[in-house]
Structure 1
Amino acid sequence: MQQLQFESSWDKQIAPQDRENIEKIFKETKDLNSSSVVFSPIREAINHRDALLVSVLVHNFTEHPLTLIDAKLHYSVNNEVIAEKDFTLPDLVIPSQVSMPWTFIFPKDSYSVQNAFKSGRLELR
């Protein structure tokens, strides 16, 4: 059975309203019929350094812990890939059957400037 967990820094710093939103997304998506890794969108934003921030709920529906080492992630809007980057996050380990929120940061040179970043999809390639 899928469980929601927060990485320790998230758990300490997350605003109550954001926690409620993530718990709602988890309840709506925890029973997806999948045996892989699925990203459920939380929010997108551009920060003060013009980096694209993509916050998602990472569902590890697999039977193995998920680590992101040289993992190529694509972010697409309306089926057009607008950002891609290889991520190596050795400290991020998502156990089997666990969902965890995370924000992936695409630096300014790794994405195409768009009018809107909403309704996008993050995929592991």
Structure 2
Amino acid sequence: MQQLQFETSWDKALAAQDRQNIEKIFSETKYLNSSDILCSPIREAINHKEELLVSVLVHNFSDRPLTFNNTRLLYSVKGDVIADEAFTLPALVIPSQVSMPWTFIFPKVSYIIGTSFKNGRLEILEIPFVNLYK
């Protein structure tokens, strides 16, 4: 059965209203295991460095831990990809059958500036490793 977990720093710093919102999203989406990995949107924002912040509830419905090692993430709005970046996050491991909130930070050069970021969809893809020295 799917469980909601918070990474330690999130657990300590999360405001009560934000926690309630995430718990509500979890209760509404925890049975949507139509795929191994699913991201439910929480919020989008642009920070002071003009980076795109995409907060999602990552559902790992699979039977293996989810790690981010050169993992490609696409953020699209109405079917148009507006952000594309590979993420390596050694500290982020989402265990099997666990949902965890996370904010992915897309650098300014990795997204289309001037578009609307609302009601988007984050997709996690695997980038195959290619050995260039074969």
Please name the residue that 1:83 is paired with: 83
- Using the TM superposition, give the Cα deviation of residue 35 of structure 1 relative to its aligned residue in structure 2, in angstroms: 4.1
Identity %: 69
**Counterpart amino acid of 1:104?**
F
Q: Which runs of 5+ in 1 are unaligned?
A: none
Does 1:30 pair with 2:18? no
Please name the residue that 2:40 is paired with: 40
Please name the residue that 1:6 is paired with: 6
TM-score normalised by length of structure 1: 0.98
- Using the TM superposition, give the Cα deviation of residue 116 of structure 1 relative to its aligned residue in structure 2, in angstroms: 1.6
Report SS of the residue matched to 1:31.
Answer: coil
Please name the residue that 2:62 is paired with: 62
Range that drifts further, 31-40 or 5-14: 31-40
Report SS of the residue matched to 1:53.
Answer: strand
Mapped to 1, the partners of 2:79 and 2:115 lie a distance apart of: 15
Please name the residue that 2:107 is paired with: 107
Mark the structure with the bigger radius of gyration.
2
> Pairwise CA RMSD of aligned residues?
0.8
Mapped to 2, the partners of 1:85 and 1:2 lie a distance apart of: 28
Range that drifts further, 56-65 or 106-115: 106-115
Report SS of the residue matched to 2:19.
Answer: helix
Number of aligned positions between the proteins: 125
Report SS of the residue matched to 1:59.
Answer: strand
- Using the TM superposition, give the Cα deviation of residue 21 of structure 1 relative to its aligned residue in structure 2, in angstroms: 0.1
Mapped to 2, the partners of 1:67 and 1:33 lie a distance apart of: 18
**In the TM superposition, what whole-angstrom CA distance separates every residue of 1:63-94 from its partner, at most 9, and x where no partner exists?**
00000100000000110000000000111010
**In the TM superposition, what whole-angstrom CA distance separates every residue of 1:10-69 from its partner, at most 9, and x where no partner exists?**
000000000000000000000113241100000000000000000000000000000010
**Counterpart amino acid of 1:15?**
A
Mapped to 2, the partners of 1:23 and 1:122 lie a distance apart of: 19
